[in-house]
Amino acid sequence: MFKGFYTVASGMLAQQRRTEMLTNNMANANTPGFKADQSAMRAFPEMLLQRFEKERIPTENGLNLPFNKEIGTINTGVYMQEAIPKFIQGDLRETGNKTDVALQDIDMPENGSVFFNVRHTDGSVRYTRNGNFTVDGQGFLTTGSGHYVLDSSGQQIQLSSDRFTIDETGVITGENGDRAILSIGYSIDPRRMIKEGDGMFRTEDGTPLPSAFGTAGVQFRLQQGFLEQSNVDMSKTMTDMMTAYRAFEANQKILQAYDRSMEKAANEIGKL
């Protein structure tokens, strides 16, 4: 009886976590460069149930021989293994702002992706697809959350004003002729990167990503005055949320049925 409680509870927890993931996707549907998470649901390993019995051998001394009798298998529940970002190119939206830059994939190896390199507040390098940049009071090019955008030499980019141009190859030319090249990193498998807040990613071991410029088979371009939108599919996300809610509700009703059965076992059968 209690095995059912654990199975149903694991199903409810898995669907709750999946609903939280889908809710976060919906909340970031309008966040530039946001990559939607997708879940991987897995069942716990099945267990083989056996019963230990004894068989009495009709001998003079009454010999008993122990043996195992197989009952069958039982599944111990389900869990949401992990949330994996989906690195599909989002639509580009024209904003007309000089500080907005979009990365557009032209020809990319399967599962590969390119990122802007930025300096985190702890001094390490982070990666993002959100090109909604701004120029701070000291003239540094930063992200909306205040992280410094890096150039090809790993330095912060300082400009004389917000009147600058960025060509398709990432070359920044300021109003006074100052020049810099945006640092673009390439990951052969971005699904192995760790997702953080503010649309940031980092590598598992902290090793910097190699430069995307000159990497064989990697073709991309930058577009000033554009932003890459999130790749959240709102209609599919809504459908998935309803499916997760119905699955949670079904598990909840089964749990209530178990609870009523246990109540009868304790209050009615126990009186006999």
Q: What is the pLDDT of residues 31-55, one digit of tens each?
A: 999 999 998 887 766 666 666 676 6
Predicted pLDDT of residue 241: 93
**Euclidean distance between CA atoms 89 and 109, whole angstroms:** 13
Predicted pLDDT of residue 39: 86
Neighbours of 130 (CB within 10 A): 26
CA geometry: angle 122, 190, 212, nearest 5 deg: 80
- Lowest-pLDDT choice from 57-71, 194-208, 239-253: 57-71
Encode pLDDT of 152-204 as tens digits.
999 999 988 888 999 999 999 988 888 899 999 999 999 889 998 888 999 98
pLDDT at residue 264 tops 90? no
Which residue segments constitute the domains of the chain, with CATH numbers given?
Answer: 2-47+77-83+233-271 (1.10.287), 92-228 (no CATH)
User: Both tokens of residue 5?
Assistant: 């409680």
Question: Which residues, 6 or more positions from 39, have their beta carbon under 8 angstroms from its beta carbon?
Answer: 17, 18, 21, 80, 81, 82, 83, 84
**Mean per-residue pLDDT, 215-237:** 94
Predicted pLDDT of residue 75: 65
pLDDT at residue 244 tops 80? yes
